């Protein structure tokens, strides 16, 4: 599948992390003993959409991933994505800006 413009902004480390996430989704489905068809049905998704999520297709809508996670009872983990307590770079910038303002 050819890359689209937005995919040019995704580095290899981020792609690997997303592949791990997609693999985790597959493992969670299998741990529940669900077929792809069952998982798609529980998430109210088409089988093709669910397959794309497990394949780590970067063009798959975030809502598809959220529906799959929700069906498995794992949607609360989404709240940790981009959470301020995980944003070391953002905190460093805020600290540096606060020091500049304090001068």
In 3D, which of 65, 67, 58, 72 has the Cα closest to residue 2?
A: 58
Under 8 Å between Cβ of 75 and 69 = yes
For the chain, the structural domain boundaries read: 5-78
Amino acid 3: pLDDT: 61
Q: What is the DSSP letter of 103?
A: -
Q: What is the pLDDT of residues 35-77, one digit of tens each?
A: 999 999 999 999 999 999 999 999 999 999 999 999 999 999 9
Residue 65 tokens, joined: 């991933």
pTM exceeding the 0.85 threshold for the entire prediction: no
| Residue 3 and residue 13 in contact, taking contact as beta carbons nearer than 8 Å | no
CATH 1.10.260.40 matches 5-78 = yes
- The beta-strand segments (E) located in 48-93 are none
């Amino acid at each position: 599948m050819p890359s689209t413009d937005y995919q040019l902004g995704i580095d290899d480390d981020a792609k690997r992390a997303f592949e791990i996430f997609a693999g985790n989704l597959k493992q969670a489905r299998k741990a529940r003993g669900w077929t792809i068809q069952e998982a798609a049905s529980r998430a109210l998704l088409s089988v093709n959409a669910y397959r794309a999520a497990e394949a780590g297709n970067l063009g798959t809508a975030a809502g598809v991933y959220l529906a799959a996670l929700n069906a498995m009872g794992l949607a609360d983990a989404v709240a940790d994505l981009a959470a301020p307590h995980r944003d070391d770079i953002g905190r460093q910038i805020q600290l540096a800006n606060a020091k500049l303002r304090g001068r």
